[in-house]
A and B are shown apart, each in its own frame.
Chain A
């Protein structure tokens, strides 16, 4: 065997090794370009979309944005395997893989992912879609209940005055002035009361709403002061007539005062039951 042969083989190995080493060294030249367009699921271009590219080996990453035409360009990329993520406001993130070759200008068009929808969560369209009519019903309800509330509060003034004057109009008093004043204030109280009640009764009902909280007491008390507001003036007229005829108030008419007091008390409690909340 020739003595130079081992040296030749060793030299060949060194050259081969260096050649092998030189490939990855050469592959690290950052001369590749990746460009493309970003569109939404309906193929419309998306400006200001964020493109995030990450080398899966080195984990080095670069970020850019699409221009007003929905185009992006990433230059000076090192060849290798990459993950490309695209995201934009109002869309889900979409990720894809791409192999970048040395010295190439590659095109990669990206499509944004559709966002998770309420349907994905199991909500039906009936649950998620409101309507102007539904909102109008709520607005009308609130509007009418506000009027109900205001009229109810205003009504407390003539109600209290009527009760106070009632002491002078009934009993042994013979003053017709007190009786007429009591009658007039009582009429105003009744009118305002029924006007207020109208707005509460006619306010639109919202289906599927269970009554909870202090409004239950408020409504329950209406079953006392409502009939009371009907009965009190009837008994009051009977008592007024008896008194005007010079008679002592007698029979069922004598219950006028007691019914009025119970009615006024229930009315006051009804107001208080809803006055400690908005």
Chain B
């Protein structure tokens, strides 16, 4: 074997390293803001949490994601209301909200993604198909924004009420997340 052949083999091996590395990559949730919105005829409530953690594991072009956030970390600016929300959402028994989804690895290159979400909350599991998210890529990071069209009845939650008037059923959750790719 001559030197040229050796160099060629080394060259192709070096080329091969990133190709193999692409088949097993991970995504880690760096920052997040999740905001639920509840509407009552007398006022509006937003509860915010920055405590979500998430991970995505990719194999052969397919990525499995898990995002989770403790229910009690949502802050609406009033601890009494937050404890009431924790109670009606059965947060004592089911303290976490988890979201699972599968996405093709190639989705990281597009401006929008449509994700099928499986959400566990309040001891119930609800599925949301083709939820639209916007994404912006910056180097190794991707910022994702979107709204999950959740409702109270999806999770069999009795609506809290004020002056005997219950809040509306819709409870959209605004999602703002920054993911970082790790190899």
Contacts and interface: CB of A to CB of B under 8 A. Distances in A.
A211 B79 contact: yes
Given A93-B102, A118-B98, A139-B87, A210 B79 contact: yes
Contacts of A132: 92-93
A58 to B, nearest CB: 16
Given A122-B53, A278-B162, A130 B68 contact: no
Contacts of A134: 92-93, 95
A11 B83 CA distance: 89
Interface residues of A, number: 47
A232 interface: no
Contacts of B167: 278
B80 A215 contact: yes
Interface in A201-225: 206, 208-215, 218
Nearest to A215: B80
B149 interface: no
A212 B77 contact: yes
B64 interface: yes
Q: Which of A83, A275, A277 has the most CB of B within 10 A?
A: A277
Interface residues of B, number: 45
Nearest to B77: A213
Contact of A94 (B59, B78, B91): B59
A136 interface: yes
A251 B145 CA distance: 69
B160 to A, nearest CB: 5
A115 B79 contact: no
B75 A212 contact: yes
Interface string B80-112: 111110111011111110101010000000000
A121 B55 contact: yes
A129 interface: yes
8 contacts: A93-B62, A95-B60, A142-B84, A208-B72, A209-B83, A212-B78, A213-B81, A215-B78
Given A95-B59, A128-B96, A212-B79, 14 more contacts: A85-B62, A92-B64, A127-B96, A135-B91, A135-B92, A142-B87, A145-B80, A206-B86, A209-B79, A214-B78, A214-B80, A276-B42, A277-B45, A278-B161
